[in-house]
Amino acid sequence: MAYQIRVSARHWTGIYDAGAGVYCVTEKVVDITDDCHCPNIGKYEKIRLLFTRTQRGRIVKMVSGSKRIFKGLNVHFFIDELDEQFNVSEADDVFGRQAKIIGLEKLELRELIELHAPAR
């Protein structure tokens, strides 16, 4: 079951909001390792969702705890635009590939993100 962990300096997103001219501050961190269905997750990796926001909207960044298996899973998506991720070709389906890597269906991953995302 996913759980929130305390935000620390190591949870820096590195996302730059060009509209505001500042780096985004991590608001919330949720460990979803136990919800993933990949056999090596948990043994070697921790999968975390880092939540932040920009002028454009809320962002979730998926990160892994190390580079041992996923070579540093590090991708972000705009939370309020996740519906658009369901209308892309297979070749352009980054969201779907990331979900598959951690053993989830796209809908499962979207539901986890929406469940834990900070309010708008």
Based on the structure, what is the number of domains in the chain? 1
Average pLDDT over residues 64-90: 79
Which pLDDT score is estimated for 90? 85
> What percentage of the chain carries pLDDT values higher than 70?
91
pLDDT in tens, 22-67: 999 999 999 999 999 877 676 777 899 999 999 999 999 998 866 5
At 65 the pLDDT is: 66
pLDDT at 87: 87
Q: What proportion of the chain, given as a percentage, has pLDDT over 90?
A: 57
Distance CA 87, CA 70 (A): 26
What is the C-alpha to C-alpha distance for residues 41 and 48, in angstroms, rounded to an integer? 11
Cα 1 from Cα 19, distance rounded (Å): 36
The confidence score (pLDDT) of residue 37 equals 86
- In 3D, which of 82, 84, 85, 86 has the Cα closest to residue 112? 82
Domain that holds residue 45: 3-116
